[in-house]
Amino acid sequence: MSDDPEVDALVADRYLDALLAAVDRHADDAPSHAALDPDVREAARVLRASLVRVHPSFRFEERLAGRLAELAATQASPALAAAGRGALIELPGATQAILEADPLVEAILRGELDPTDADAVDRAARARRAAAGVSALVIATASTAAAAATTPGIGGPG
């Protein structure tokens, strides 16, 4: 180990490169620099073997492939191609399921939201949650009022 954390980090990084490349050679370890902390090396070896990549179910894969095909068909439509930034886009009925899965897709299609912009996505998601909360409150209030109006003795005709 050195006294410089950046040098230690660089030594560890080189070891990780070698360790990850060793998988192709079916080896479970790789040579390391003498300066590498043996505990860090062991932790890297354990993580390399433990953190496996996993695949979702076939059913999920095909369902999502179908949704993406629907969205692709919408994108290929001349109406969308002709629409400018911020234009209102008439989405076909089948696409409503996509908007239910992710309401932010509509703003992305309109060119109003960049999904790689963390702050913009966060703001849009918060606004969505707040709007959903207000809608739920309005519906709950309306339901309570309707129930009160139709219940004898509470405000309805008795």
Question: Which of 114, 134, 146, 156 lies at the binding interface for other proteins (CB under 8 A)?
Answer: 114
CB of 140 to other proteins, least distance (A): 20
Q: Are 54 and 43 in contact (CB under 8 A)?
A: no
Binding span for other proteins by CB under 8 A among 110-118, 131-139, 140-148, 150-158: 110-118
Which of the stretches 101-109, 133-141, 144-152 binds other proteins when contact is defined by CB under 8 A?
A: 101-109
Cβ proximity to other proteins: between 9 and 148 the closer is 9
The torsion region of residue 140 among left (phi > 0), alpha (psi -120 to 50) and beta comes to: alpha
Q: How far apart are CA 155 and CA 2, in angstroms?
A: 79
Distance CA 61, CA 40 (A): 37
**Buried-state track 117-129, b at ≥16 Cβ within 10 A, e below 16:** eeeebeebeeeee
- Mark residues 56-75: x for contact with other proteins by CB under 8 A, - for none: x---xx--xx-xxx-xxx-x
Closest by CA to 35, choosing from 74, 67, 9, is: 9
Joined together, the tokens standing for residue 156 give 């309805």
Q: Which is nearer to other proteins, 34 or 76 (CB)?
A: 76
Our measurement of the distance from residue 122's CA atom to the centroid of its chain's CA atoms, rounded to an integer in Å, reads 11
Nearer to other proteins, 100 or 152 (CB): 100
Binding site for other proteins (CB under 8 A): 5-6, 8-10, 12-13, 16-17, 20, 23-24, 26, 28, 37, 39-40, 42-56, 60-61, 64-65, 67-69, 71-73, 75-76, 98, 101-102, 104-105, 108-109, 111, 114-118, 121-122, 125, 129
